[in-house]
Structure 1
């Protein structure tokens, strides 16, 4: 049931869209341009934190899997917390007190890591809102910690000069709790809008994007109201939407939401953007997102990878399998050389503490970033993204394994008067050859014809000598010893 206040809000949404400049159709939304700051920022932090962080078991899909009798989580829940009729997912809410959450400390850590923007999840598939909401009482202000967690974090981030963004994963809540109806549990009818588990409809197959059961108009309107509430209360510079929003049923309401958000941005005097996956939006109307993967070649458009410090979960658990810092940095270099940004996820504990291993990795990333910031922030792809035999695979879920780089694998960016060459595996003898910077004997071949003025290495007090011939630019850097990519700055006359 829509309240009178919500009816007025829907009228306001229509009014903002009618006043433009963006209309709720792809032809109009195609006029969108990516905010200038985004393409320069390169590195952001994603945060998955919620009720699932209290359980800290397997991954952030615990709320779904604990109600599926074939899943390990179903039996784990019964043994650890009791039968589902007596202790359901909602009973984790009082346990979520966030007693050690220090937003200023988080913001300082993310800034030290070299991030320029931060994406806390406002609402995950489980339906618990991490902010103060007037739409449902199942939120962090009215229950659990009884704090506006999203608002506190926004304030702390902006005080550190970081750009506040946020995400909604609400779309999947249409079916996320549905398996609790298949046996005797606390997920049961009757349900109404605003209830924690509502609507708990049958889960569709992943490929069912144009078939029933469609989300109802009531659910789609609720999704619109919740997302617009986030926009108006917290004014994020970017919004991120997770999967299933590509379902045909969302097309009309998604265009409406995008027009509203982009028009609100115009009213506030700032460019905003939506990050989307699976072609949920028409290309050119937002920022293309690749989950845990990359694009294999440099693109003329800016895109983003969302990935995580851990290989097996987005949230904190007691069984995390961490990537190495080197793996994350190498992945980052691959991404920026191809005109992408990396959004790296951390998973705080239910108490609000950021785990020690996450802190360690973020600190190491920050040290590398500080040394090589000239080659990162504000850079653009060079005319070639890479040389060497190792190539990343195109697509999603491809970044969990470390790649076998050698000293012949080099990635490039450019900025101002310089080309930056990232040597992915620096040799102990300090000698490398950059074949893409060879002297070209044929002026008709589209290779490098520039005049090199100086070559230096970033982040090290090292003596660098070099010479150029038809086989490449041969560089020797004495005294450089590191497991991380080494960056050479090639200044051009």
Structure 2
């Protein structure tokens, strides 16, 4: 009878599930939801207020690091290595063996993180201007990066045999940076479905990959005694259209024929995440999910969110200092948590503070990007940061870490260049707020809509004709995206539209006097003789009263 009920529920529009009840209601007996102000409902979570420290921080750096960085083949390796004909499948068979025998578990076993020095890395990130630091707690590959109570496939038991998160947490504390954790494992259920497949041609045609192995199959193997299904979670029917590796993108919110996780799977994800919160008390918590994890098929995400907020308040004398992120949020959900935009930005100022997460390369380390000199430049990163801050956002930037725990020389150079610009211009970024408009110039006038969870970065090319604004008290910061190549005209600061009187104008990093004139057509600033840094030029304009 229960199977028939579930089938009927699956036919309902996803928006109706919350009205009819969840397919999987979490058993929170092992890990209770902390008592407090917040209940596990969107209505209760809407009491959330973004803490001031986060709105002022503007810039964080992320180590999106795990076993998928070991091959150096970029993103979603543990999914794509089971796709015949793919670059990752070819690399896997050449370096580890055929995925019917040598699956992702062998990649995990080869990952040792032998040169990892978290304090050295986080100190560099702080020097580059990071005001908070993020580490990845787990990815879709389902490996927990700490001494997890509920997942035996964790970095203390396998791979590096190190408590990675404890190392990162101690480094963040030593550098006095708020500590964030990202959780991606809710989707392992469908994401690993490629591990159930088999070659469709060749000598091993029809021989299943290792995704259906059992604990008993581990006898005599390096993973003997550890249940392989605790990693792959593939004892279930495949999602609709699972032979199309791209179909998962349309099923990310558990619609369009996605296989629905079991009670056991959902309970385990909930328990793992509550254990994570209770062990590390993160200042920030990021979910790579639509809304909240396993929503709307389960109340797991709502219970996790309520626990996170309540437990954080208990640690801060009744004040809520926590920051929780989700993707593709409705306007109502944006009142409950912080909207995260992946690799992109809205093209207007947002009423609620938000964040973009981005990367200088792939999310997971990719040797080809290093070899082909394809990293984003420091200039590109800083221009993105300036634009995001002008629209009431923060930038969380991933610096990909190699499997051995180091970053390469080109990444270090980018960070040092960011640090050089920040040393001069950081006052125009941190502790600022948006002005009445975010900018002027060609890029400000062009529409650039978000695609799904983001993915509109890089479509705008900035020049010295592009201007961005932000403010602090009676100071307006006017940033030129590059070196001015002519006199500057700022239309929004003309006499007819600007009631506030200008007291002084200076260029950050320079003592040279700035020549300027305010007319009805705008504020005219004579082209300066030079600038402190060619990436972006910041003018500090003091007004007669607070903006």
TM-score with structure 1 setting the length: 0.91
Distance in 1, matches of 2:522 and 2:534, equals: 24
Distance in 1, matches of 2:101 and 2:109, equals: 15
* Match runs of 1:204-223 below 5 Å: 205=247, 206-208=249-251, 209-210=254-255, 211-223=257-269
The Cα shift of 1:157 comes to 1.0
Of 404, 421, 429 in structure 2, the residue corresponding to residue 351 of structure 1 is 404
Of 308, 324, 332 in structure 1, the residue corresponding to residue 359 of structure 2 is 308
8 Å CA contact 2:284, 2:324 repeated in 1: yes
Matched, 1:52 2:52: no
Determine the structure 2 residue equivalent to 1:227: 273
8 Å CA contact 1:193, 1:199 repeated in 2: no
Determine the structure 2 residue equivalent to 1:259: 306
The Cα shift of 1:283 comes to 2.5
8 Å CA contact 2:145, 2:165 repeated in 1: yes
Change (3 A) 1:199 1:399: same
Distance in 1, matches of 2:145 and 2:258, equals: 31
Matched, 1:282 2:298: no
8 Å CA contact 2:294, 2:301 repeated in 1: no
Deviation beyond 6 Å, 4+ runs, structure 1 = 191-194
The Cα shift of 1:478 comes to 2.6
Distance in 2, matches of 1:94 and 1:254, equals: 31
The Cα shift of 1:250 comes to 4.4
Determine the structure 2 residue equivalent to 1:6: none
Determine the structure 2 residue equivalent to 1:113: 128
The Cα shift of 1:13 comes to 4.2
Determine the structure 1 residue equivalent to 2:99: 84
Of 507, 511, 519 in structure 2, the residue corresponding to residue 469 of structure 1 is 519
The Cα shift of 1:93 comes to 2.3
The Cα shift of 1:251 comes to 4.8
The Cα shift of 1:261 comes to 0.7
Of 467, 483, 487 in structure 1, the residue corresponding to residue 534 of structure 2 is 483
Matched, 1:432 2:505: no
Distance in 2, matches of 1:398 and 1:200, equals: 37
Of 364, 386, 393 in structure 1, the residue corresponding to residue 417 of structure 2 is 364
Determine the structure 1 residue equivalent to 2:117: 102
Of 152, 157, 163 in structure 1, the residue corresponding to residue 178 of structure 2 is 163
Change (3 A) 1:200 1:237: farther
The Cα shift of 1:248 comes to 4.4
8 Å CA contact 1:463, 1:479 repeated in 2: no
Distance in 1, matches of 2:33 and 2:78, equals: 37
**Superposed CA RMSD:** 2.1
8 Å CA contact 1:315, 1:346 repeated in 2: no
8 Å CA contact 1:45, 1:345 repeated in 2: yes
The Cα shift of 1:60 comes to 2.5
8 Å CA contact 2:346, 2:449 repeated in 1: yes
Of 53, 62, 85 in structure 2, the residue corresponding to residue 37 of structure 1 is 53
* Match runs of 1:332-347 below 5 Å: 332-347=385-400
Determine the structure 1 residue equivalent to 2:448: 393
Change (3 A) 1:15 1:56: closer
Distance in 1, matches of 2:532 and 2:423, equals: 17
* Match runs of 1:194-213 below 5 Å: 195-199=230-234, 201=236, 202-203=238-239, 205=247, 206-208=249-251, 209-210=254-255, 211-213=257-259
Distance in 2, matches of 1:65 and 1:380, equals: 42
8 Å CA contact 1:464, 1:478 repeated in 2: no
User: Secondary structure at 1:368's aligned position in 2?
Assistant: helix
Distance in 2, matches of 1:15 and 1:485, equals: 47
TM-score with structure 2 setting the length: 0.82
Change (3 A) 1:48 1:200: farther
Determine the structure 2 residue equivalent to 1:492: 543
Distance in 2, matches of 1:136 and 1:54, equals: 21
Structure 1 stretch displaced more, 211-220 or 117-126: 211-220
User: Secondary structure at 1:319's aligned position in 2?
Assistant: helix
Unaligned stretches of 5+ residues in structure 2: 1-26, 199-207, 216-226, 241-246
User: Secondary structure at 1:52's aligned position in 2?
Assistant: helix
8 Å CA contact 1:137, 1:194 repeated in 2: no
Matched, 1:319 2:352: no
Determine the structure 1 residue equivalent to 2:4: none
Change (3 A) 1:469 1:451: same
8 Å CA contact 1:386, 1:412 repeated in 2: yes
Deviations 1:181-218 (A, max 9, x none): 22222221447796221236524533343355212221
Deviations 1:314-350 (A, max 9, x none): 1111111211211111111110000000000111111
User: Secondary structure at 1:176's aligned position in 2?
Assistant: helix
8 Å CA contact 1:408, 1:433 repeated in 2: no
Q: How many correspondences in the alignment?
A: 473
User: Secondary structure at 2:70's aligned position in 1?
Assistant: helix
Change (3 A) 1:94 1:251: closer
8 Å CA contact 2:294, 2:300 repeated in 1: no
Distance in 2, matches of 1:248 and 1:107, equals: 33
* Match runs of 1:234-249 below 5 Å: 234-243=280-289, 245=292, 248-249=295-296
